[in-house]
Structure 1
Amino acid sequence: MADLKEKIEQELEQAREACDTKGAQSGECAAAWDAVEELQAEASHQRSKPEKKKSSLEQYCDDNPEAAECRIYDD
């Protein structure tokens, strides 16, 4: 998520620069802001995902990986 925030900041800077140099009505300016909006939408989507809750067995195995119940055997 930190990488995504950094990417958003970079795209914001590039969008501002594109609009300053090419003009607010230019295609480059619009495309740059579209890229910012897409990244912000992705960040919002990632924040809204519910985290998968672990079952009681998964929690037990995280705490006790050597327990017989938690062993994984290869076929």
Structure 2
Amino acid sequence: MITGRKFPFGNHIKDSLLTLPPKVDMKIDEIQCMNIGKSKLVMTLTRLSESPQSTKRHYADMVVGVEEDNMIVFHEKIR
């Protein structure tokens, strides 16, 4: 396609990049648990990039489920 314009086409690409959610590193560690057949996990979320001040709020849902029983064990919204 020939448009005669240089890449990128306008400010809409730059504006859309500002609305992306920040990058997050997720680390999961297993801690000792006395119950046989059960585990305790510690999840640490670390924000890798600072998000610019925008009016949009980004949320994530953390869902833990069991595939064999097809059931959700834990659900939490992360802000």
Larger Rg: 1
Question: Would you say same fold, with TM above 0.5?
Answer: no
| More strand, by proportion | 2
TM-score with structure 2 length normalisation?
Answer: 0.28
